[in-house]
Amino acid sequence: MKNNKIFVLIPDGVGLKNFAYGSFPEIGKQLGYDIIFWNQTSKDLSEQGLKQIKLKPEPRAVTDLYKRAKIESELNHFTSKFNDPVYQTYKFPSSGNGLKTRLKNSFVRMMVNMHSGEKGVKHLQKRMEEAERKSKYYTQCFDLLQREQPEFLFCTNQRPLTAIAPVLAARDLGVPTGCFIFSWDNLPKATKVVDADFYFVWSDHMKQELLKYYPHILAEKVIITGTPQFEVHFDRQKRLEREEFINRFRLESSRKYLCFSGDDITTSPHDEVYLEDTAQAVESLNSKGYDIGIIFRRSPVDHSGRYDDILENYKHIITEIKPEWYKAGEAWNEILPEEEDLKLQTSIISNTFMVINLGSSMVFDYASYKKPCAFINYDPEGKRAVKDVAIIYDYVHFRSMPGRDAVIWIDNKDEISGVIKKVLDKEIEFPVENALKWFEKINLQPAEKASERFWEFISNLSSRQDLIS
């Protein structure tokens, strides 16, 4: 009798949003699969009728140190191999100054110095896995998988420390494993810490990236599916129509709204300045007879108060619609979404005429609606920039853009009002067309079929037994 039990490992909020809240579970059920979410978050998925297993993840501290060393060594390797200093910009300094932190940093530095190049990176991966196999958590994962015997273990994120033990245990037991590369910018950052039998990527472009950075992976093991995160934009039942949207958020029915999409504080430390610059541009246009408002959607992981003064001073123009995410803990992966956020995000896009942000993947969300995106491309005036905006647009994932005209560039604050005016007056057309070409390059089309492609692979898993190590 065919085993139809599929384990889906959910280590964080992104995994919830992509695979627990969308169409993925329902498609699997219709195909007759017994889907069990190995839920490492605090969210109770049984409330929405999903089967789940809760096993508190407790990776070893030393595993994290090997992970840090592996990432840093790998970035050094990429820098040397591709003769490109951009990979050094992906490094982040360790926070904290205590003795314990200094000792940890010294250990990481020693490991990096001892292990360089491709062989050194592979050795650190091995050391990381060996360390985790000695954990109590690994033993618990091994026992669970031995007892349940799923047909397939699917990990929804390639970078969490807590995913290493479950995938290792599955591999050691001969359970086929797959891992999703969850974001378009992750591969150049050396964030892949999970080794699986198969890898799921957004596009052929991302597949070539994976093979470029990890040449030991066989091309046949890289499966192009697209990402489920855009599927919601193609389901009209999920979005609020304009009248309902206006009434729910107490907006003005005569106004045309643009969206300012916030970034996390690491990517855009001066985001509140850009929001104020946009508000001033809108205020100027409104004084000339326009009637424009701003919907502000902050980054779901940004719970800071850095926008508070701007929101208060421009409350006649800006309406904040907060993402439906909540803090379950202090770590970034403990900020979790509610299912309602899918409907909320797509409704904001449906009811705004453009988006302004600093280098966000929201360009693809708006491309799904055939609406333009403007990228902020200047450092704030009158203050020393914490992070030069030029660093952002030099990141590897932006090199995939098919020409500069895939977005509208805002090169200084004085250009914002002109850009908004041209979009409203339909004087700009090429960015939408080129953004769609970029979207087609980055994510397999049709975008709404991603979940179906995952299940198509799983349904034909038996034909790929020769690729399982």
Encode pLDDT of 150-184 as tens digits.
999 999 999 999 999 999 999 999 999 999 999 99
pTM of the prediction?
0.95
Contact at 8 Å (CB) between 386 and 392? no
251 is written with which tokens?
């907006």
Q: How confident is the model at residue 386 (pLDDT cuts 50, 70, 90)?
A: confident
CA distance 220 to 222: 6
pLDDT tens track for 67-91 = 999 999 999 999 999 999 999 999 9
Q: What is the architecture of the domain spanning 5-58+135-227+447-467?
A: 3-Layer(aba) Sandwich (3.40)
Residues above pLDDT 90, as percent of the chain: 87
Least confident of 60-74, 281-295, 349-363, 375-389: 375-389
Torsions phi, psi for 73 (to 5 deg):
-65, -40
Q: How confident is the model at residue 98 (pLDDT cuts 50, 70, 90)?
A: confident
Q: In 3D, which of 116, 117, 108, 114 has the Cα closest to residue 67?
A: 108
276 is written with which tokens?
């104020």
Name 245's Cβ contacts closer than 8 Å, sequence gap at least 6.
251, 347, 350, 351
Contact at 8 Å (CB) between 409 and 377? yes
Mean pLDDT value of segment 25-37: 97
User: Would you state the pLDDT for residue 2?
Assistant: 61
Identify any residues that bridge with 179 across adjacent strands, giving them in sequence order. 155, 199
Per-residue HEC secondary structure of 264-323 comes to: CCCCCCCHHHHHHHHHHHHHHHHCCCCCEEEEEECCCCCCCCCCHHHHHHCCCCEEECCC
Q: What is the architecture of the domain spanning 232-442?
A: 3-Layer(aba) Sandwich (3.40)
CA distance 424 to 53: 50
CA distance 204 to 466: 23
User: Would you state the pLDDT for residue 300?
Assistant: 92
Mean pLDDT value of segment 358-382: 94
Residues above pLDDT 70, as percent of the chain: 99
Name 102's Cβ contacts closer than 8 Å, sequence gap at least 6.
none
Note whether 5-58+135-227+447-467 and 232-442 share their fold.
yes
Amino acid letter at 79?
Answer: T
Selected residue with higher pLDDT from 385 and 391? 391
Q: How confident is the model at residue 23 (pLDDT cuts 50, 70, 90)?
A: very high
pLDDT tens track for 50-69 = 999 999 999 999 999 999 99
pLDDT at 204 over 50: yes
pLDDT at 427 over 90: no
Contact at 8 Å (CB) between 288 and 336? no
User: Would you state the pLDDT for residue 1?
Assistant: 40
User: Would you state the pLDDT for residue 381?
Assistant: 84
Using DSSP's 3-state secondary structure scheme, residue 52 falls into strand
- Residue 114 has a CB neighbour count (10 Å cut-off) of 12
Left (φ > 0), alpha (ψ -120 to 50) or beta: where does 39 sit?
Answer: beta
User: Would you state the pLDDT for residue 20?
Assistant: 97
In the chain, where the domains are located: 5-58+135-227+447-467, 61-117, 232-442
